[in-house]
Structure 1
């Protein structure tokens, strides 16, 4: 019985390791740099969806359609280009490293803007506290 199980594993392994056919290059292939831009926007759209999906849905906004419209691409063209690039792992990793680097730069910029806003609010708060400390106490009419 053990021999049949081993033979069965080898047979499935043999047929499972067949040659994978690469997809053909689409006629309207999206260039790599545009693909990086689109994937960055898609990740930002997914982040927005995860933060406040209820209001996005209630307003009837379709984030994917906005990304496609913004870049002048349809969903089929994007899917075919994505499939073509995904077939070559090295190319796909190169694209995603650029997307990741761009998102990291955006995050760093947003963090610095938040820090500037926080320091501005802190300085306004300190100024208001100083004004309150220097203000004369209210006069009581009974004294």
Structure 2
């Protein structure tokens, strides 16, 4: 029994030693381009999950649009992504930059939403204010506002 346990441990130890990492592809996507692709991909995935009906109605393939924009194909992206994922420190750096850019985008969008909401509120408040009496420019008499 003891022999079987030792045999199993040796086989397990030997079996785990041959971990092959992907080699650097010839057409490796540069880090800054990879960051931009990942930012757009994450943004597209978020849009897909929020308003899925519009994207489904228009049959938009977001990944294909991203690949076309950066003049890459899905294989090149997959190979580059696998390579960077095997280089853990580099991949962590890439993902940190992606996260920073997404946080900045979110802050910009939140600011725009707040501005738009304030503009709508100001418009509604302006309509709710009672109309003030205006003075006639010729006679100086106050004219009451028109009532509906």
TM-score by length of 1: 0.83
2:56 partner SS? helix
Higher RCO by CA contacts (8 Å cutoff, separation 6 or greater): 1
Q: What is the deviation of 1:46?
A: 0.4
Task: Give the structure 2 partner of residue 141 of structure 1.
Answer: none
Q: What is the deviation of 1:90?
A: 0.6
Task: Give the structure 2 partner of residue 43 of structure 1.
Answer: 42
| Cα offsets for 1:10-68 (capped at 9, x unmatched) | 34641453142221111111000000000000001101111122331232211111111
Task: Give the structure 2 partner of residue 10 of structure 1.
Answer: 9
Q: Which one has a larger percent helix, Structure 1 or Structure 2?
A: 1
Aligned pair count?
Answer: 137
Uncovered stretches (5+) of structure 1, i.e. residues with no partner: 139-143
Q: What is the deviation of 1:6?
A: 4.9
Asked if residue 105 in structure 1 is aligned to residue 97 in structure 2, the reply is no
User: Which structure has the larger Rg over C-alpha atoms?
Assistant: 2
Uncovered stretches (5+) of structure 2, i.e. residues with no partner: 134-144
**Structural RMSD (CA):** 2.4
Cα 1:111–1:12 change in 2 (3 A) is: farther
Task: Give the structure 1 partner of residue 51 of structure 2.
Answer: 52
Cα 1:6–1:27 change in 2 (3 A) is: same
1:54 partner SS? helix
2:60 partner SS? coil
Q: What is the deviation of 1:100?
A: 0.3
Task: Give the structure 1 partner of residue 79 of structure 2.
Answer: 80
Cα 1:105–1:9 change in 2 (3 A) is: farther
